[in-house]
Amino acid sequence: MLAISPIEAFDDNYIWLLKDPGSTLAAVVDPGDEDPVLATLEAQRLELGAILVTHHHYDHVGGIDALRKAFPQARIFGPHDRRIRTLTDPLGEGDQVRVPWISESFRVLEVPGHTSTHIAYLGVGILFCGDTLFAAGCGRVFDGTFEQLSASLERIAALPPETLCYCAHEYTLANLGFAKWVEPESTAVVQREQAALAIREQGRPTVPSRLSEELATNPFLRTSVPEVKAAAESQVGMPLATTAEVFTALRRWKDEKYD
C-alpha cells in the first residue's frame, strides 16, 4: 500500500514522498529544494527512482538538477513545457504514470490557470494538485487565465468527495481567513479554522485535505453558492452571470485586498 509523507521545504512548501512499504525506491512530487529530499532519503535508506512535477515554478523544480546528479537513473515526469528542461517523460491529458515499484498509478489531468501548463496526478482517492487547489484556497493566476483556473477547479470539484488533495503549500490558516471574509456566517469555516489551529499547534501539516471539506469551506469551489456569489457581486458592484465571473471576482478580491 502506497505511503505518502511530507518533506518540508522553504517556509511553507511540501514535497511529497511516495513509497511502498518494504521498497528501497521512492518518488517525490515537486522537489523545489534538493537538500531536505536528500536528507530524508539518506535517513530512510532510500533511492530516488522518480520525480513527478506539476508545473515549472522554481519552488517546485529547483531541486531537480541536483537530485538527478545524485540519482541519474531517476525518471522525471512533468507537463510538456520548455521551461522544465530535465524531463524524461513529458505528459499531457489522460497520460498514465506507472512506476513499477509503486503500487499506485496516476492519470494526468491538465489543470491550467495558475500556470498555462499545470497538471495534476490523480490516483485512486489521491490527487497531487500542486498549486491549482490549496486547502481552503487556490493558486494565483500567473501565465494562465482566470477562466482556465475556474474551469480547472470545477473539474477538481467534480471528483469523488472522498478524494484526498495533496497540495504543495501550508497556506490553510491564511486561506480560511479569506474564506471568513466571503462567508462570515459559515460555521463550517469557523470549525475548520479551529481544527487547523489545533493541528498547527501540534506542529503537523493541515494537508492533505478531503475534497468534501473543500466543497464545504473553500470559496473558490463554492462559486455557485448564493452567499458566495452575493459576496463577490458586492465587491465588484455588479451582477455576475457565470461561475467563472464569480471566481474571477473572488480571486482578484483576495489578490488586491487580502494577500
Is residue 55 among the annotated active site residues? yes
* 171-215 confidence digits (pLDDT tens): 999 999 999 999 999 999 999 999 999 999 999 999 999 999 999
User: DSSP per residue over 42-79, as a string?
Assistant: HHTT-EEEEEE-S---HHHHTTHHHHHHH-TT-EEEEE
Closest Cα partner for 252 from 240, 237, 239, 235?
A: 235
Task: Say yes or no to pLDDT of 259 above 90.
Answer: no
User: Given 30, 33, 56, 60, which residue is catalytic?
Assistant: 60
Is residue 80 among the annotated active site residues? no
Task: Say yes or no to pLDDT of 67 above 90.
Answer: yes
Is residue 143 among the annotated active site residues? no
* 75 close to 86: Cβ distance less than 8 angstroms: no
How far is CA 125 from its chain centroid? 15
Residue 140's pLDDT band (cuts 50, 70, 90): very high
* 220-251 confidence digits (pLDDT tens): 999 999 999 999 999 999 999 999 999 999 99
User: Given 30, 56, 57, 95, which residue is catalytic?
Assistant: 57
Residue 100's pLDDT band (cuts 50, 70, 90): confident
Is residue 56 among the annotated active site residues? no
User: Given 59, 81, 95, 118, which residue is catalytic?
Assistant: 59
Query: For 3-13, what is the mean pLDDT?
Result: 98
Residue 237 confidence (pLDDT):
98
User: Given 30, 33, 81, 131, which residue is catalytic?
Assistant: 131
Query: For 85-93, what is the mean pLDDT?
Result: 96
Q: Model's pTM, two decimal places?
A: 0.97
